[in-house]
Amino acid sequence: MEPTPDVVRHFHPVLPARQLRQRPVRVELAGHAYALFRDATGRAAALSDACPHRFAPLSKGTVTKEGQLQCPYHGWRFDSRGHGTNPSQPELRHCEARSFQVVERHGYLWLAHANTPVSAMPELSGEDYFFGGTFSTLFQAPLHVALDNFSEDEHTPYVHTRLGWSGAQTGAVEFEAHNHADHTEVHYRAPQRPAPIMKLLLVRDGDYFHNDWVTRFDPVRSIYTIHWKSAEGMPRPFITQAHIFFVPETARTTRLHVFSFLRTSTPLLKPLLPVAAKAALGLTWWEVRDDARFIPTVADTPYSHKGMRLDKYDKPLVHQRKLMERIYYAHEPEAVPRVIHEATGT
Ligand code: FES
Ligand SMILES: [Fe+2]
């Protein structure tokens, strides 16, 4: 199933801003390539990575001192709005390259159609959260496989080694999930297995892990809020929040961009936030790395859930597939008539 070209009607994070300097950079989003560059004022811009002349990749070109992107093949030059000129035939008109909008925020470059309102930029954590940092990880799997993996915690004891419960504690997991019109919501409560990094977040042995998350589709992103409580229900002081954006690059790869935050309910601990937020970022990095290492194992999982013996933890999966299709795909996969034919024997 091919993604529609309209993926960029939502803002997607595509590149850490510091990685775009004097040279253009190519990024891919749902199989389409974009050439990012900075104009003379340092502002990031994006053009379709195919020169309107004979489709050479503009990302292989250079940026002139006037801040135009120059094609590596015949030297046509384009400004940040895609307006092009041909040095060998200056009177030639209609030399436009397709331009896109780039917003620089939270240390990333976010890409969308030129007419997508900036107000459509996804909101990250509120002011009470301390920003701990970001990272990006390439998943060798299609978007549907990456998203399904991040939509249940049943794999926690088997794929992960730190966060959450161990294989011996699977009987103590409490779970709840709700499917809504435009998002899903999931809650887990389970024993936290001992792990040294947890101490940095003032988690104690015997504590309970609480993971509450929401998955939204503007673009595809999940917001995980994780905190811990003692067995008696006493909250530990730090609450982590990770915003994970699932960006389809090709039909076989998905890049996850992670924004990590931390807050505390204890005013006395606020001075510790910068250090503790780094610990939270590190913990999230380890967990995402565990998933990334495992994901090639299931990369060939079919798109349709048909025939799978889904369990209660998979409740968000089927609904999320529909919400994802609403923003990424032109048509529903696995047309309904096949099921009807089977049922009626025709
Ligand atoms: S292909 Fe770009 S100038 Fe010719
Ligand atoms: Fe995982």
270: CATH: 3.90.380.10
Could you tell me if residue 343 is inside a domain? Answer: no
Does 286 lie in the same domain as 149? yes
Does 245 lie in the same domain as 285? yes
Q: Which residues surround ligand 2, an ion (CB under 5 A)?
A: 291
Nearest in space to 163 (alpha carbons), one of 327, 36, 319, 290 = 290
Q: Is the pLDDT of residue 277 over 50?
A: yes
The three-class DSSP label of residue 264 is strand
Mean pLDDT computed over every residue of the chain: 92
Which atom of ligand 1 is nearest the CA belonging to 61? 2
Does 219 lie in the same domain as 157? yes
Does 250 lie in the same domain as 136? yes
Domain with residue 89: its CATH number is 2.102.10.10
Confirm if 334 and 304 have CB atoms less than 8 A apart: yes
Does 221 lie in the same domain as 150? yes
C-alpha distances out from residue 258 to 135, 179, 202, Å: 5, 23, 23
Confirm if 231 and 255 have CB atoms less than 8 A apart: no
Does 137 lie in the same domain as 38? no
Question: Which domain covers residue 78, as residue numbers?
Answer: 8-120
Average pLDDT (260-279) is 96
Looking at ligand 1, which residue's alpha carbon is closest to its atom 3? 74
Residue 63's pLDDT is what?
98
Could you tell me if residue 49 is inside a domain? Answer: yes
How many structural domains are present in the chain? 2
Listed residues 120, 144, 174: the one ending a domain? 120
> 87 CB under 6 A from ligand 1?
no
User: Residue 229 corresponds to which tokens in the numbers above?
Assistant: 């409580």
Looking at ligand 1, which residue's alpha carbon is closest to its atom 1? 54
Listed residues 65, 95, 120: the one ending a domain? 120
Does 32 lie in the same domain as 181? no
Phi, psi of 321 (to 5 degrees): -60, -40
Could you tell me if residue 346 is inside a domain? Answer: no
The three-class DSSP label of residue 75 is coil
If residue 134 lies in a helix (H) or strand (E), which one and from where to where?
Answer: strand 130-139
Residue 337's pLDDT is what?
33
| Residues forming beta bridges with residue 112, ordered by sequence position | 101
Does 223 lie in the same domain as 110? no
Task: Note if the pTM is more than 0.75.
Answer: yes
Cβ neighbourhood burial of 339 (10 Å; 0-12, 13-18, 19+): exposed
91 CA to centre of ligand 1 in angstroms? 16
Confirm if 160 and 290 have CB atoms less than 8 A apart: yes
Which is it for strands 220-229 and 238-250: parallel, antiparallel or unpaired? antiparallel
Between 124-138, 147-161, 323-337, the lowest mean confidence (pLDDT) is in: 323-337
| CA pair distance 190, 43, nearest whole angstrom | 46
Does 180 lie in the same domain as 302? yes
Phi, psi of 234 (to 5 degrees): -80, 120
Listed residues 91, 120, 149: the one ending a domain? 120
Q: What share of the chain in percent tops pLDDT 90?
A: 88
Could you tell me if residue 147 is inside a domain? Answer: yes
